[in-house]
Amino acid sequence: MPSTGSSSPERHLSKADPVMRRLIREHGACPIAKRNTGTLFHSLASAIIAQQLSVKAADTIQKRVMQLVSNPLTPRAYLATEPDALRSAGLSRSKALYIRNLAEAVENGLTKRTLQVLSDADAIKTLTSIKGIGQWTAEMYLIFGMHRPDVVSFGDAGLQRAARELYNNGKAKTGMLEQVSETWKPYRSTACWYLWRSLHNEPL
């Protein structure tokens, strides 16, 4: 994540939160800011394909769709592809329509640059106005696709579980994630990566 002033996200979080300090020691620097995020259309189309699927199933379908459409996925090539062919590649009717909605939005002027000038809330509102892109998908795009530094997906079950396990001994407590995340500002996206990382053996 981009740093503010002379402070880095890891330095800030280590000073603000002893749990974060331990996670940072265990898992090292957060790599999100160094990742190549790809185009807005490809990233969000991939997210739509992956909805409610296992990683393996989503990967298989995406490879078939890219072989059929383009690699990386582009809105113009997608719109030129017959719906029946997309269905044959494994896309459900609804997902094929959702990606078409996204393709039309991009062709009509939606770009990463147009989102960059918006606040987090307005960027999420713009993305979720496209049928097929929900709150979680929009939040993940802001974190991983746009490297926004201070986004928390409060509806993410993994983040909620990690917060309970790390801060409340596994006991359910209403608003736990909301409460502890206050100390992470303005680097809540980085803190979320460490919470996800605490739940997985492999890096995200």
The β-bridge partners of 4 are 7
Which is nearest to 106 in space by CA: 69, 79, 145?
A: 79
Intervals of CATH 1.10.1670.40 along the chain: 9-33+151-199
Mean pLDDT over the full length of the chain = 93
- Segment 16-35 shows an average pLDDT of 94
pLDDT band at 2 (very low <50, low <70, confident <90, very high): very low
Cα(161)–Cα(13) distance, integer angstroms: 20
Backbone dihedral angles phi then psi of residue 117, each to the nearest 5 degrees: -85, -5
pTM of the model: 0.90
Q: Which SS3 state, helix, strand or coil, does residue 98 take?
A: helix
Per-residue pLDDT, 38: 86
The β-bridge partners of 7 are 4
Class of domain 9-33+151-199: mainly alpha
Of the ranges 35-39, 127-131, 198-202, the best mean pLDDT one: 127-131
pLDDT band at 4 (very low <50, low <70, confident <90, very high): very low
Per-residue pLDDT, 77: 98
pLDDT in tens, 112-130: 999 999 999 999 999 999 9
* Structural contact between residues 99 and 132, judged by C-beta atoms closer than 8 angstroms: yes
Per-residue pLDDT, 203: 60
Cα(204)–Cα(27) distance, integer angstroms: 11
Intervals of CATH 1.10.340.30 along the chain: 40-145
- How large is the greatest C-alpha to C-alpha distance in the chain, in angstroms? 55
Angle between helix axes 40-50 and 55-68 (nearest 10 degrees) is 130
pLDDT band at 201 (very low <50, low <70, confident <90, very high): low
The per-residue DSSP string of 24-38 comes to HHHH-S--GGGS---
What secondary structure letter does DSSP report for 182? G
Cα(179)–Cα(163) distance, integer angstroms: 10
Cα(189)–Cα(4) distance, integer angstroms: 14
Class of domain 40-145: mainly alpha
pLDDT in tens, 143-189: 999 999 999 999 999 999 999 999 988 777 888 999 999 999 999 99
Task: With a cut of 70, say whether residue 1 has pLDDT above it.
Answer: no
Among 2-11, 32-41, 65-74, which stretch is predicted with the lowest mean pLDDT? Answer: 2-11
Cα(6)–Cα(3) distance, integer angstroms: 7
pLDDT band at 204 (very low <50, low <70, confident <90, very high): low
pLDDT band at 3 (very low <50, low <70, confident <90, very high): very low
